[in-house]
Amino acid sequence: MNSHICDRNSSSNIDWNPLLSRIEWVEGKSVPTYPGDLKTALLNHAGLISHPKGNEAYQLACEIARLTTYCDPEIIYWFSRIIAVMDY
């Protein structure tokens, strides 16, 4: 997966590689997993932990990911795409 998933705006990029690099395969699971609280990690990494639309963006990313693999790397991808178009 591309580690430079989205451009938040023309002057600043969010590097998603720190989160993607923590994704691991866990025995007994069929999809790769983020070790820890993915929601909190995403919101903190994007600077949206206190933003009123941060939780909504995360929930939407989960709903979109649910249509296919519903794995953590896919949630990261959709979250990055959603916040790329957010006005904040």
What does the pLDDT look like over 22-81, one tens digit per residue? 999 999 989 999 999 999 999 999 999 999 899 999 999 999 999 999 999 999 999 999
Query: What pLDDT, on the 0 to 100 scale, is given for residue 37?
Result: 98
Tell me what pLDDT residue 6 has.
40
Predicted pLDDT of residue 13: 83
Q: In 3D, which of 37, 35, 36, 40 has the Cα closest to residue 50?
A: 40
Give the model's pLDDT for residue 7. 39
Q: Give the end-to-end CA distance of the chain in Å, rounded to a whole number.
A: 26
pLDDT digits (tens, 9 = 90+) for 49-59: 999 899 999 99
